[in-house]
Amino acid sequence: MIVLLARHSNNQPVSLTKQIANSGEGQVWETNLSGYLAKIYHDPTPARIAKLKVMLANPPADPMLSHNHVSIAWVSDLLKDSNGKYLGFLMPAIADSKQLSSVYNPRRRKQVAPGFNWYYLHVTALNTAWIIQEIHAKGYVLGDIKLENILVNNRAMTAVIDTDSFQVRDPQSNQVYRCTVGSEGFTPPELLGKDFDTTNQTEIHDRFRLGVLIHYLLFGYHPFSGNWTGVGESPEQTELIKQGYWYGGHNSPIRASKTTIPLDVVHPELKQLFLKCFNEGHTKPHLRPTAQDWHNALEVAVNQLTSCSRVDSHHYSKTYGKCYWCDRAANLDIDIFPGVAGTAKIPSSTDLFEKKVNTLSNVIEALVSIKIKKDSLPIKLKEEKHKMIKKLEEMQNCAQYRQKQESQSRNLKIQQLQKYEDEISLELIKIDIEISDMQGFNNSYINSLLAALHQKKESLRLKLMKIEQEKKQLIIQPYFYTSEEKKLKSQLIQQFNDLDDQYSKELAKITSQIEEKKANAEQLSKELASFNITIPNDLIFKLNKHNIISTQ
């Protein structure tokens, strides 16, 4: 059966050709559009469609597009029927990939992907952390992170699916569309027992889930598993997570078994992140490593992996000093990375350096975007104040019937002050241009002119402040208001007075973001330079333009 729908963006027809999945939430179909699948909801509620529209308007950056790989199965378009009713959405199809649940488990891996060795699993973890880092950077919370919701191909390139279950916040209205589902073993302790339908989550909750996921990939089992040495029978895994009982915990009744892979096997930076995630992060969730922390540590760990001289499928960290997998196979007579020829292609160090260059480019673009936002703040503040003044003036117009003459006089003064304010603002712009033109000249005459211009500029600023105060006084001068008008007026004045505080907080926040991005870009630039990797000229130009130190 072929079902015909239309795209939201251009009304072009889309055919649903074959149903490939069906769940309690909806159906997934193949379509006549190459590279695209469709998800059709059983119950396409207005809230679901509104959430999809927010996602469609605010996609996260896909970190692997430069590798011709889609790593986030994001909403590509909405789908509607002949009556204009929205039923679901289009999304990219992730081809030739397997669920992480097929590669982390040694037995399953041996059957479906024998070439997935430890190096390969490290790169898989690295790419997954990178994707989640970009998703978090856009303000989304994944919520239902689990092995089945992440796919991996034979190049260690991963992709996140089921993105419509994410927690989404509308940047315009601040409306939160919650993630109402979770998976056992991945829910952080502070959310256990909570109703997801009424709980707003943060990326701090995702940090726990990501730690569990990476542990699965590198060790092959859940961190909150092992030998129970406490009283009675071993509690359920959910209770172990709630109590913080894992095999790497302090005085934990869960102990390593003979098949447990010691934490010392991974790179020390990764070991510290696991300890921080499940020990310190148990009582202080904000201390859990971020996706970027995992990304950075995994890059270091991948570069420190070396091949075993005896078994070509074995890889181990140089910091460990020997092949753990050979020792384990000798002791247990079980080799979870047997020397079987596989088809998996391991990304080279060149790929990783290319990724760093791409990351640097993304950081610089984000920096430019944030700076533009900062530059627009004063204009935004002025517009908001004018809106408040306009609302108050509308109230004053209603009171004119009672005190017409006084109101007309007051409005005229406000208009005169506004006109005077605009004239001064224009004069300030002209002065700034003159000062800019004189920069670089150093003689007594120019210096005296500059001093005079700065003095004039300061005088004009003081006049602007005085005008602003006069306008406020005119606005709040009492009229004969009804009780309802008085209440509304009080609210508007409070909002007006709060605008400056809101502006200051927003400015401080943006300034902090700019400094953070500049630090990230500087660090990436230095790392690339230390490996003699050439940064493209266009990026060097941007680094210099934004006063980020380039070491090349």
State mean pLDDT over 408-428. Answer: 83
Mean pLDDT of the chain: 87
- Count Cβ atoms below 10 Å from residue 452 Cβ, excluding itself: 10
Q: Both tokens of residue 163? A: 């993105």
468 and 492 share a domain?
A: no
Helix (H) or strand (E) holding 88, with range, is strand 86-92
For residue 316, give the 3-state DSSP assignment: strand
Is the residue at 294 inside a domain?
no
The CA distance from 120 to 115, in Å, is 8
412 and 550 share a domain?
A: no
The CA distance from 298 to 304, in Å, is 10
DSSP 452-500: HHHHHHHHHHHHHHHHHHHHHHHHHS-----HHHHHHHHHHHHHHHHHH
Angle, helices 349-399/444-476, rounded to nearest 10 degrees:
50
515 and 552 share a domain?
A: yes
Cβ proximity of 364 and 372 under 8 Å: no
The CA distance from 232 to 228, in Å, is 9
Examine the fold and report which residue of 478, 507, 536 is the final residue of a domain before the chain moves on. Answer: 478
The CA distance from 515 to 509, in Å, is 10
Residue for token pair 């339908």: 197
461 and 493 share a domain?
A: no
Query: Is the pLDDT score of 478 beyond 60?
Result: no
17 and 39 share a domain?
A: yes
pLDDT at residue 267 in the model: 97
What confidence tens digit (pLDDT) does each residue in 14-62 have?
999 999 999 889 999 999 999 999 999 999 999 999 999 999 999 999 9
What lies within 8 Å, CB to CB, of 90 at 6+ separation is: 7, 14, 31, 33, 36, 37, 38, 75, 76, 77, 78, 79
Is the residue at 539 inside a domain?
yes
The CA distance from 98 to 104, in Å, is 11
pLDDT at residue 533 in the model: 64
Q: Which of 139, 130, 186, 188 is nearest to 160 (CA)?
A: 130
Q: DSSP label at 72?
A: B
Is residue 346 very low, low, confident or very high in pLDDT (cuts 50, 70, 90)? Answer: very low
- For the chain, the domain total comes to 3
Q: DSSP label at 75?
A: -
Lowest mean pLDDT among 18-22, 28-32, 128-132, 442-446: 442-446
388 and 417 share a domain?
A: no
Residue for token pair 């950081």: 363
What confidence tens digit (pLDDT) does each residue in 7-16 have?
998 999 999 9
State mean pLDDT over 80-92. Answer: 96
Q: Which of 424, 351, 336 is nearest to 113 (CA)?
A: 336
391 and 504 share a domain?
A: yes
The CA distance from 389 to 288, in Å, is 46
390 and 413 share a domain?
A: no
Q: Both tokens of residue 336? A: 């979870």
What lies within 8 Å, CB to CB, of 231 at 6+ separation is: none
Is the residue at 116 inside a domain?
no
242 or 363: which leads in pLDDT? 242
Is residue 551 very low, low, confident or very high in pLDDT (cuts 50, 70, 90)? Answer: very low
pLDDT at residue 344 in the model: 38
411 and 542 share a domain?
A: no
pLDDT at residue 147 in the model: 96
Is residue 547 very low, low, confident or very high in pLDDT (cuts 50, 70, 90)? Answer: low
State mean pLDDT over 266-280. Answer: 98
Is the residue at 220 inside a domain?
no
State mean pLDDT over 469-483. Answer: 68
Percent of the chain with pLDDT over 70: 89
Q: CA distances (Å), 528 to each of 64, 93, 251, 419, in order?
A: 19, 34, 42, 54
532 and 431 share a domain?
A: no
Query: Is the pLDDT score of 115 beyond 60?
Result: yes
The upper half-sphere exposure of residue 496, i.e. CA atoms within 13 Å in the direction of its Cβ, equals 21
Query: 254: which strand partners?
Result: 228
Cβ proximity of 358 and 128 under 8 Å: no
What confidence tens digit (pLDDT) does each residue in 60-78 have?
999 998 888 999 999 999 9
Query: Is the pLDDT score of 427 beyond 90?
Result: no
57 or 428: which leads in pLDDT? 57
Residue for token pair 């003979």: 258
pTM of the full structure: 0.65
Instruction: Look at the alpha carbons of 269, 274, 277, 278 in this order and tell me if their dihedral is positive or negative.
Output: negative
- Tell me the Cα Rg of the chain: 30
Is the residue at 552 inside a domain?
yes
Query: Is the pLDDT score of 523 beyond 90?
Result: no
| Backbone phi and psi for residue 534, each to the nearest 5 degrees, phi listed first | -75, 125
For residue 131, give the 3-state DSSP assignment: helix
Percent of the chain with pLDDT over 90: 55
415 and 437 share a domain?
A: yes
The CA distance from 64 to 453, in Å, is 51
Helix (H) or strand (E) holding 543, with range, is helix 537-545
Q: CA distances (Å), 227 to each of 9, 252, 255, in order?
A: 55, 10, 5
Q: Which range marks the domain in which residue 40 is found? A: 1-45+69-93
Lowest mean pLDDT among 73-77, 99-103, 537-541: 537-541
pLDDT at residue 353 in the model: 63
Q: Both tokens of residue 252? A: 């934990």
Is the residue at 391 inside a domain?
yes
For residue 3, give the 3-state DSSP assignment: strand
pLDDT at residue 364 in the model: 78
For residue 174, give the 3-state DSSP assignment: coil
Examine the fold and report which residue of 478, 493, 508 is the final residue of a domain before the chain moves on. Answer: 478
| Backbone phi and psi for residue 150, each to the nearest 5 degrees, phi listed first | -130, 130
Angle at 126 between CA 176 and CA 261, to 5 degrees: 110
What lies within 8 Å, CB to CB, of 145 at 6+ separation is: 132, 183, 186, 206, 209, 210, 212, 213
Examine the fold and report which residue of 478, 509, 535 is the final residue of a domain before the chain moves on. Answer: 478
Q: Both tokens of residue 249? A: 């915990």
Three-state helix/strand/coil letters over 227-250: EECCCCCCCCHHHHHHHCCCCCCC
101 or 477: which leads in pLDDT? 101
Is the residue at 137 inside a domain?
no
The CA distance from 266 to 278, in Å, is 16
Tally DSSP H helices, then E strands, for the chain. 14, 15
360 and 380 share a domain?
A: yes
Is residue 347 very low, low, confident or very high in pLDDT (cuts 50, 70, 90)? Answer: very low
Lowest mean pLDDT among 63-67, 212-216, 345-349, 468-472: 345-349
Is the residue at 259 inside a domain?
no
